[in-house]
Each structure stands twice: as structure tokens, then as C-alpha cells.
Chains A and B, each alone.
Chain A
Amino acid sequence: DTGVSQDPRHKITKRGQNVTFRCDPISEHNRLYWYRQTLGQGPEFLTYFQNEAQLEKSRLLSDRFSAERPKGSFSTLEIQRTEQGDSAMYLCASSPIPGRETQYFGPGTRLLVL
């Protein structure tokens, strides 16, 4: 049973560039979550998918952020026109059981915007 995987693990970009991150959940987990974590803080919820449907978006997710899960398997998170404030660890988690929120995290993608 492979865990949640994320790609890339690290990304350095210049302000104004677009970046895209990928998350592959644990096989057959139908719930997928994106969180963002900055230094010294706990993860903050960004968005949630059940299968291919995006069911909730945090107000933290500005118009520059978009997420997809086109076939209910992997998901992508795109940030357009990156800003220095976007520098953070972007975490993906998946969950297997409806009605329980036990979530398993991937290794994260660490983004640095210069």
C-alpha cells in the first residue's frame, strides 16, 4: 500500500510565474484535501474533493489558485502569478472512510517564491 505522493517535492520560482503541483492519493481513497502550512503554524485547509467534485474551498484560496481532480484520482493545484506570500509547504492528504476524517498526508511540496 503506497502512501500519498506529491510532485515536485521542492519548487523555487520567481514572483509572477505560474506553478503546478500534483498529488496522487492512496489508492481508492475518494476524499482528497489540500492544505498550506507556513513556518511555525499548523496546516490550513485550502480545498477538498470527493471523487472529482470540488466540494469546498477556503477563503484563503484566492482567484490565483485553482485545483482539479479530473478523474477522481490524482489532483493538481495551480498557483498563477505567484507572490512571495505564497511561499509555504503545500500538503495533500487523502481519506478513505466517509463519515470519518482520518487523513493521511503526503510528503508535501515546498514552494519558495523569490
Chain B
Amino acid sequence: QKEVEQNSGPLSVPEGAIASLNCTYSDRGSQSFFWYRQYSGKSPELIMFIYSNGDKEDGRFTAQLNKASQYVSLLIRDSQPSDSATYLCAAGGTSYGKLTFGQGTILTVHP
């Protein structure tokens, strides 16, 4: 079992729709969770981080964390073609701050 698992997709949504990305983690000691966006051939770019159970909103993005279920999600409202990328979920907090990444979910937003 991988420590952080994501649906690899691809996930395809129409422009203007809500994209929902999911992630589960196995290490209950994980304390912090991150979503990164990665365009093809580029490095990961931090979108959001969340440490506490519940929702955290930032513009069109909402991160949700449920530690009891070991589940993290990212919602993207009003999806745009420019949101098309690979979204990486990462968990941290167990060892010197290293992050453990999932394999990423490919999102395609079509006009």
C-alpha cells in the first residue's frame, strides 16, 4: 500500500464546473497536507496547505481534511482550461518535514 494515494485519472471536466480531487494517506502521524499543481515539464507549485480538520478556502480552491478518515480533497470551482495540470497531494509532519507525495491526478478542463 502506498503511503499517499490519489486517483491517477485523468479527470476531465467542462469549463466552469467543479473539479474534485481526492487523496488518502496511511500514516496517522501525518500532520500537514499540501496540494501542488504541476504543469507538464515544470516543477510543482504550491496551491494550498491544510493542517486542521475541516475546510480551508482560498479563492476558487477549497481543501478539505478529515483525519479520522485519513482523507484529503481539493475542490476547484469554476474550472478553467488553465487549471489543466497534474495535481499532487502530499503529507508531512512525521519526519524532519519531508513530504510524501501521491502519484498525482491529471486534470483536464475542456472548453
User: Size class of B's contact patch?
Assistant: 20 to 34
Complex CA–CA separation, A42 to B100 (angstroms): 9
- The 8 Å CB contact of A56, one of B90, B96, B99, is B96
Interface residues of B in 56-111 (CB under 8 A from A): 88, 90, 92-93, 95-104
Closest to A105 in B: B43
CB neighbors of A among B8-54 (8 A): 32, 34, 36, 42-46, 49, 51
Q: A33 to B98, Cβ gap below 8 A?
A: yes
Is A42 touching B101 in the complex (CB atoms < 8 A)?
Answer: yes
Find chain A residues with CB under 8 A from B93 CB.
101
Query: Is there contact, CB below 8 Å, between A42 and B104?
Result: yes
Contacts A101-B32, A105-B43, A105-B45 given; indicate if A56 touches B98 (C-beta within 8 A): yes
Given the known A-B contacts A101-B92, A104-B46, A105-B44, are A42 and B102 also in contact in the complex, defined by CB atoms under 8 Å?
yes
Say whether A45 contacts B99, CB under 8 Å.
Answer: yes
Of A31, A55, A105, A106, most buried by chain B (CB within 10 Å of CB) is A105
Contact B44 A102 (CB under 8 A): no
In the complex, chain A residues whose CB is within 8 Å of the CB of B97: 31, 33, 48, 95, 100-101, 103
Query: A91 at the A/B interface (Cβ < 8 Å)?
Result: yes
- Chain A nearest CB, measured from B46 CB (Å): 6
- CB closest chain-A residue, reference B36: A105
A102 and B98 contact, CB distance less than 8 A: no
Residues of B within 8 A of A105 (CB): 36, 43-46
Supplied contacts A42-B104, A101-B34, 19 more A-B pairs, CB within 8 Å: A33-B99, A41-B104, A42-B4, A42-B101, A42-B103, A43-B44, A43-B101, A45-B98, A45-B99, A56-B95, A56-B96, A89-B43, A95-B97, A101-B32, A102-B34, A102-B49, A103-B34, A103-B99, A104-B46
Give the top 7 A-B pairs by smallest Cβ distance, nearest first.
Answer: A42-B101, A101-B92, A101-B97, A45-B98, A105-B43, A108-B43, A56-B96
